[in-house]
Chains A and B, each alone.
Chain A
Amino acid sequence: MSSKILLVEDDKNLGDQIVSHLARDGFEVTWLRDGSSALDAEPKDFDLIVLDLMLPGAHGLDILKIYRETAETPVLVLSARNETSTKVRSLALGADDYVTKPFWPEELLARIQARLRRPLLHATDVIETGALRIDVNARVVENAGQKVDLTRIEFDLLAALAQRLGSAITRQSLVDRVLDPDREGTSRTLDVHFSRVRKKLGSEGGRIATVWGVGYRLLAT
Chain B
Amino acid sequence: MSLRTRLLLAIAGSGLAILLGSVIARDIAIRFAAESAIHSSIEGRVNSMDREICEAGRDFERFGRRGEGFGPGPRVPEPGGATPGPLGEPPHEPGSAWPRPQDGPNREFGPRGGGLPPGERDSFTGRFGGGLFGGPRMTRVYFYDPDFKPRPFGGPPFPEAAKLTLRSGEPFVNGRDAGGFFGAIATPWTGGACTYALAVMPTPPSFNSFTSLIVGALFLIGAPAFVLSLALAKPVARIRQLATEVRGAAAKRYETAVPVSGGDEIAELGHAFNEAAAEVRAHLGEVERREKALRDFVAHTTHDVALPLSVLLSHVTSLRQKAVGKDADQTVTAIAQETQYIASLLANLEAVARLESDQALHEKHPVDLVALVERVAIRHRGIAESTGVDFNYSVPSAPVWATGDVTLIEQAANNLVHNAIQYNQAGGHVALVLDVEGNQFDLRVSDDGPGVPEGDVQRLGESRFRSEEARSRRPNGMGLGLSIARDVARRHGFSLSLGNSAEGGFEGILSGSRRDEEAPKKPSIS
> Do these two chains interact?
yes
Q: Is the CB of A88 within 8 A of B363?
A: yes
Interface string of A124-156 (1 = CB under 8 A from B): 000000000000000000000000000000000
Q: Does B393 contact A (CB under 8 A)?
A: yes
Q: CB < 8 Å: which of A11, A21, A101 contacts B317?
A: A21
What is the total of A-B residue contacts with beta carbons within 8 Å? 132
The stretch of A38-46, A179-187, A190-198, A209-217 in contact with B is: A209-217
Q: Is there contact, CB below 8 Å, between A21 and B318? A: yes
**Residue A21 contacts which of B314, B522, B525 (CB distance < 8 angstroms)?**
B314
Asked if A107 CB lies within 8 Å of chain B CBs, one says yes
Q: Are B382 and A104 in contact (CB under 8 A)?
A: yes
Kindly state the separation between the CA atoms of A88 and B522 in the bound complex, as whole angstroms: 11
Closest A residue to B431 by beta carbon equals A213
Contact B392 A168 (CB under 8 A): yes
Q: Does A59 contact B (CB under 8 A)?
A: no
CB of A73 closer than 8 Å to a CB of B: no
Whether B299 contacts A81 by the Cβ 8 Å rule is yes
Residue of B318, B350, B429 touching A20 (CB-CB under 8 A)? B318
User: B309 touching A101 by the CB < 8 A rule?
Assistant: yes
Confirm or deny: A91 has a beta carbon within 8 angstroms of a beta carbon on chain B: yes
Q: Say yes or no: B392 contacts A213, CB within 8 Å.
A: yes
Closest beta carbon of chain B to A122's beta carbon, Å: 12
In the bound complex, how far is the Cα of B444 from the Cα of A212, in angstroms?
13
Given known contacts A106-B382, A168-B392, A212-B429, is B314 in contact with A80 (CB within 8 Å)?
Answer: no
Give the residue of B317, B381, B431, B523 whose beta carbon is less than 8 angstroms from that of A91: B523
B430 surroundings in chain A (CB, below 8 A) = 213
Contacts of B397 in A (CB 8 A): 163-164
Inter-chain contact B363/A104, CB cutoff 8 Å: no
Against A, the Cβ 8 Å flags (1 = close, 0 = not) of B435-452 are 100000000001110000
A213 to B365, CA, bound (A): 30
A18 to B318, CA, bound (A): 11
A97: nearest chain-B partner, CB-CB: B526
A215 and B394 within 8 A (CB): yes
Chain B 360-388 interface 0/1 with A at a Cβ cutoff of 8 Å (1 = within): 00010100000000110011011000000
Q: Is B87 an interface residue (CB 8 A)?
A: no
Taking the complex as formed, is B487 at the interface, i.e. its CB lies under 8 A from any CB of chain A?
Answer: no
Shortest distance between the CB of B471 and any CB in chain A (Å): 26
A79-119 Cβ-contact flags toward B at 8 Å (1 or 0): 01111110110011000110011111111001100100000
Stretch of B34-42, B98-106, B244-252, B300-308 on the interface side: B300-308
Picked from B302, B307, B350, B379, the residue with its CB within 8 Å of the CB of A14 is B307
> How many B residues, CB 8 Å from partner?
52
Does B82 interact with chain A (Cβ within 8 Å)? no
Contact of A102 among B299, B313, B429 (CB under 8 A): B313
**A54 vs B299: C-alpha distance when bound (angstroms):** 14
Give residues of chain B (8-56) contacting chain A, Cβ–Cβ below 8 Å: none
With an 8 A cutoff between CB atoms, is B2 at the interface? no
Check: A30 CB closer than 8 A to any chain B CB: no
Distance of A97 Cα from B302 Cα, bound (Å): 21
Q: Which of B347, B365, B382, B523 contacts A82 (CB 8 A)?
A: B347
| B390–A105 touching, CB < 8 Å | no
Min CB gap A87→B, angstroms? 6
Please indicate the chain A residues that have their CB under 8 angstroms from the CB of B476 in the complex: none
**Contact A87 B392, beta carbon cutoff 8 Å:** no
Q: A81 to B429, alpha carbons, bound, how many Å?
A: 32
Shortest distance in angstroms between A119's beta carbon and chain B's nearest beta carbon?
A: 15
Which residues of chain A are within 8 angstroms of B58 by Cβ–Cβ distance?
none
Shortest CB distance B304–A (Å) = 9
Q: Given the complex, which residues of A lie within 8 Å of B382, measured CB to CB?
A: 104, 106
Selected from B306, B310, B311, B378, the residue in CB contact (under 8 A) with A110 is B378
Residues of B with C-beta under 8 A to A164: 397
Take A80-B307, A87-B406, A102-B309 as given contacts and tell me if A107 and B379 are in contact as well, using a CB distance cutoff of 8 Å: yes
A101 and B306: CB pair below 8 A? yes
B392 and A88: CB pair below 8 A? no
7 cross-chain pairs, A with B, having the tightest CB-CB distances, nearest first: A213-B431, A17-B314, A102-B309, A212-B429, A101-B306, A102-B310, A168-B394
- Chain A residues with CB under 8 Å of chain B are 11, 13-14, 17-18, 20-21, 54, 80-85, 87-88, 91-92, 96-97, 100-107, 110-111, 114, 163-164, 167-170, 172-173, 211-215, 217
Q: Mind listing 28 A-B residue pairs with CB under 8 Å? A: A13-B311, A14-B311, A17-B310, A17-B315, A17-B318, A81-B302, A81-B306, A83-B299, A87-B406, A87-B407, A87-B525, A91-B525, A100-B306, A100-B407, A101-B307, A101-B309, A101-B310, A102-B313, A104-B317, A105-B314, A106-B378, A107-B375, A168-B394, A169-B394, A170-B433, A212-B431, A214-B392, A214-B431
B interface residues (Cβ-Cβ under 8 A, vs A): 299, 302-303, 305-315, 317-318, 343, 346-347, 350, 363, 365, 374-375, 378-379, 381-382, 390, 392-397, 405-408, 429-431, 433, 435, 446-448, 522-526
